Chains A and B, each alone.
Chain A
């Protein structure tokens, strides 16, 4: 390519953050916005959606625009095979080929393969042999067939070693040979990418351990667009006893643990604190967790107003985060999987809220126990309860931890890091 002209970057996102909330699509869209602000980049966003968005599907189209926005397109996924992660629709494949040939990007940056198909990485290489292909891991779906969470279905422990036998133990309806083949299939396509990035360093260790090439990884932290006023002068409060949960009510996010911790403290007579739940998507929780959460909330709602500890605020958009954050002192992140990055940590930090989180994965990497937050044993409601009690009672703890929060990269800094990587891949 001619270095004098703007770099053409195609970003591929799973879902669009305005349609479905989620960290991967949020980061991808913020990167898109950061690129749009630069004269040296010409960017296009292609966000995959699924057929539940019936009204957005145009008859006969594989790719369409999105709400009249410049440079934003929807990939109308269909006939998607969730086992092998590919589409069986030749028209959609052809539409993607046409799109690549029309956009002619210098860099194709996959932020996921879900709903596109993992084999579209190989197709991109076939159609655009000169383009550089970058793949960002936002979880471990290539490696782990159980939602990419690396949590064992057998005992809910975290998994660091996906093998054919261990995957079969998690999903016994498939034989080990299926997972042997799945791994080969995934690696065949991932192997086509020129480079991989991860938002946290521990992910690189896990993915290298799985067998991806050592020299193709770069850690680039997710950046964050500026939202609202960020840190403001906090009114002095005698106690820092307001906790907030932000995220989806799915099993992996561990909201049930927070509710169990509340029950433990209440049973012990410690009730001078509040918990606000922000989020939704409980429909994606397992039946057992959904029943557990709903039963708790129903019982809570039946209590006299003054005895209630937990409040359900429901879902929120990105521009509402500030208001929600200012209602709490602490952000609780009780995830029972590694988390790839933990966007909520960045959001909490941008408002000066220390995080109380599980002691594994991205949370352990980003949050320094006693430095800028508190860690508790993953999956242990009693350990979480003790952290909540301490957060409420220990004088000066909140001020010390809040002061320890370091500034986080902005989306523009993230864009700089990626552009640096693209240029290295294109020009050496």
Chain B
């Protein structure tokens, strides 16, 4: 993909050399695309044979602004199309790409001067056409390059090492800029008015599948206790706006269920969409639900309301639920963390890596396996069903919008809650999670997953090691009880003493600060 990307190509033009070195390398170099966004983000991609004289930096010089791409932080990838010409058998990543922010406001021009400086002091420059794109498009291009590039060694590890060298923080910043724009002025339309005080607001982020709006309203409406709940659907797909509003009107006519539709003008991702929807909630309890989650317990709403009212607050401040596949087996009974680690060898250099992995308790277990169903504190719960006190969600500042599109923001939320003294709980309200293969994932979504895994690992890896790792974490707050006697009833554990809470944060340390947010204006 990257090798075929020729738009904005300048390689054929070549670079004018100066600084006293005419011949740099047998293959030369070429900048193939220069993307510039008025948000201040700039992305370059090209190739260079710098085997004998490594790149020191690439400078993009605009009208009153400039960007310096450090040679050591460039993402490097394989270019098979150049390997034959290089006549070398050993692996060398001639390709490069990087995303950075300008040092000032961007004044868009048709062309920019780009100079490549090598460590020897040699430099080359060329005037390069600019591809003007908005921040969202640029984010998507960067993610597509990240996921679509060919790497030597393990592609996930190598891509994440590119992020670690600086590009990751810049993508996160750019994403936050995109998200803040997309969520600045959501369109909100209400359908029906609550007949009394609401026990909860069910927030559903639709993933481009409008049918889930009417399916959820049909299958939740009329269940015992549901009259005390409202639905809030939030859509990241503006092209579906008219359809969703029509469906909501139809559903209001048929089911008389109180609902709200929030339309965002683009894909702001799971976190930002849910945060935007939470703002318009009219109750003190938020229930974040995936669109493919449906009640298995028909009295779930009654039980949910009763649990929140009757259990000690520390057990209901933030909790999840057992989720089941359509085939009847358990899909989720809480989440825990594992650490993948290994070594990658690239160009005769070893590179150790550690990446976090989120696992589900009881995935695929028989439906009544009580070990995973019992109410208990867990390291995290899936975002497919999270019930959280609205004020606590506010205290936690919502889902982190640093994560691109989706994944890991649920675990991140739970860890932040734990860090403030309140672990997530699992309560025994059984739901279906009709998780299928879903829609086709594009390379940009794979790129988002890479960013998220890198971000989650760098943010929480040290914090979780070793006390929060594995299915039996040693941290007392989330230590898992012994396997159940099959005849033992399922009950909630006793309330934890309040003064235990502040200790949890002190027991764990080393949480990485959120990624830098500078750059995007």
**Which residues from chain A sit less than 8 Å from chain B, CB to CB?**
81, 83-84, 86, 88-90, 93-94, 97, 119, 122-123, 126, 164-165, 175-178, 180-181, 184-185, 188-189
- Interchain CB contact under 8 A, A94 and B327: no
Q: Tell me the complex Cα distance, A330–B215, Å.
A: 49
Q: Is B165 an interface residue (CB 8 A)?
A: no
Whole-angstrom distance between the Cβ of B433 and the nearest chain A Cβ: 9
**Are B250 and A177 in contact, with the CB atoms below 8 A?**
no
Assess the B218–A177 pair: CB atoms within 8 A: no
The verdict on A177 contacting B253 (CB below 8 Å), with A84-B211, A119-B218, A164-B326 known, is no
Residue B310 CB within 8 A of the other chain: no
> Using Cβ atoms and an 8 Å threshold, which residues of chain A touch B255?
122, 126
Which residues from B are CB-within-8-Å of A180? 326, 432, 434
Residue of A nearest to B249 (CB): A90
Within 8 A of A (CB), among B205-228: 211, 214-215, 218-219
Residue B254 lies at the interface, judged by CB distance under 8 Å to chain A = yes
Which one, B246, B249, B432, B437, contacts A175 given CB within 8 A?
B437
In the assembled complex, the Cα of A44 lies from the Cα of B432 at a distance in Å of: 42
Q: Which 5 A-B pairs have the closest CB atoms?
A: A177-B434, A180-B326, A175-B436, A177-B326, A123-B254
For the residues of A in contact with B, the DSSP-based class is helix
Question: B435 within 8 Å of A by Cβ?
Answer: yes
Tell whether, in the assembled complex, residue A88 and residue B247 are in contact, meaning their CB atoms are under 8 Å apart: yes
* B436:A123 contact, CB within 8 angstroms: no
**Distance of A305 from chain B, by nearest CB (Å):** 57
Contact status of A90 and B436, CB under 8 A, knowing A123-B253, A126-B256: no
B window 185-204: CB within 8 A of A: none
A175 neighbours in B (Cβ, 8 Å): 436-437
Alpha-carbon separation in the docked complex, A271 to B432 (Å): 61
Q: Are B219 and A184 in contact (CB under 8 A)?
A: yes
Contact between A181 and B215 (Cβ–Cβ < 8 Å)? yes
Residues of B within 8 A of A86 (CB): 214
Chain B residues with Cβ below 8 Å from A119 are: 214, 218, 254
CB-based contact B250/A88 at 8 Å: yes
Extra pairs beyond A90-B246, A177-B436, A181-B294 (9, CB < 8 Å): A84-B214, A89-B246, A90-B250, A93-B250, A97-B253, A123-B253, A175-B437, A176-B327, A177-B434
CB proximity of B367 to chain A, nearest CB, Å: 14
Q: How far is B45's CA from A280's CA once the two chains are assembled, in angstroms?
A: 63
A10 and B339 CA atoms in complex are apart in Å by: 65
Q: Is there an interface contact between B253 and A126, defined as CB atoms closer than 8 Å?
A: yes
Contact A185 B218 (CB under 8 A): yes
Q: Is B243 an interface residue (CB 8 A)?
A: yes
Interface residues of B (CB under 8 A from A): 211, 214-215, 218-219, 243, 246-247, 249-250, 253-256, 292, 294, 325-327, 432, 434-437
A-B residue pairs in contact (CB < 8 Å), sample of 24: A83-B211, A84-B211, A84-B215, A86-B214, A90-B246, A90-B253, A93-B253, A94-B253, A97-B253, A119-B214, A119-B218, A122-B218, A126-B255, A164-B326, A164-B327, A175-B436, A175-B437, A176-B436, A177-B325, A177-B434, A178-B436, A180-B326, A181-B326, A185-B219
Bound together, the chains give a CA A119 to CA B247 distance in angstroms of 12
Q: Once bound together, how far apart are the Cα atoms of A184 and B254, in whole Å?
A: 17
Q: Which residues from A are CB-within-8-Å of B246?
A: 88-90
Q: Are A181 and B434 in contact (CB under 8 A)?
A: yes
Residue picked from A94, A164, A176, A184, most chain B C-beta under 10 Å: A184
Closest CB-CB distance, A390 to chain B, in whole Å? 48
State in angstroms the CA–CA spacing of A90 and B292 once bound together.
24
How far is it, in angstroms, between the C-alpha of A89 and the C-alpha of B249 when the chains are bound?
Answer: 10
In the complex with contacts A88-B247, A177-B434, A188-B219 CB distance below 8 A? yes
Interface centre among B214, B292, B326, B436 (most CB of A within 10 A): B326
Task: Establish whether residues A88 and B218, one from each chain, have CB atoms under 8 Å apart when the complex forms.
Answer: no
A94: chain B residues within 8 A (beta carbon): 253
Write out the residue numbers on chain A whose beta carbons fall within 8 Å of the beta carbon of B250. 88, 90, 93
Q: Contacts A93-B253, A164-B327; is A189 near B218 (CB within 8 Å)?
A: yes
CA distance A185 to B218 in the complex (A): 7
Q: Which residues of B contact A184 (CB under 8 A)?
A: 219, 294
Contacts of A93 on B, CB cut-off 8 Å? 250, 253-254
Q: Which of B250, B256, B435, B436 has the most C-beta atoms of chain A within 10 angstroms of its own C-beta?
A: B250
